[in-house]
Amino acid sequence: MSDRDDEAPASGHNQGPPLDEHVPEWGTDGIGNWFYWKAAWTRVHKNVSRDIALFRVKKAERIGLTYEEYSLEILERGKYLQEDDVERIAAIKRKRRIRK
């Protein structure tokens, strides 16, 4: 008998990933307001006209931010970042490194 025979799944096992290792999208601290935040995020980021979205993507790429980071700056602060907003752009990038 080889070692592989000892590791064979039980009858009826679908050989999927273990369920106890799964971490849901909202993390391990409970759902809380996750669904409200997800719906609000979708309304803000997905319900933008094509032209506005393309403009923001180009602008964000030019200054080194993601579309979400650039849009969030507009929504939170009402400021359309420019290339000379070096300090604020650097702060956003630092925050990105901390989250990952």
**In the chain, where are the structural domains located?**
30-99
- 3-state DSSP: the chain helix, strand, coil percent, rounded to 5? 60, 0, 40
**17-41 pLDDT, tens digit each:** 666 777 777 777 778 788 888 888 8
Q: Which long-range contacts (CB under 8 A, 24 or more apart) does 91-97 make?
A: 92/65, 93/64, 93/65, 96/69
Segment 40-94, tens digit of pLDDT: 888 877 788 999 999 999 999 999 999 989 998 998 899 999 999 999 999 999 9
Which helix (DSSP H) or strand (DSSP E) does residue 74 occupy? Answer: helix 67-77
- pTM to 2 decimal places: 0.59
Instruction: Identify whether the C-beta of residue 71 lies closer than 8 Å to the C-beta of residue 77.
Output: no
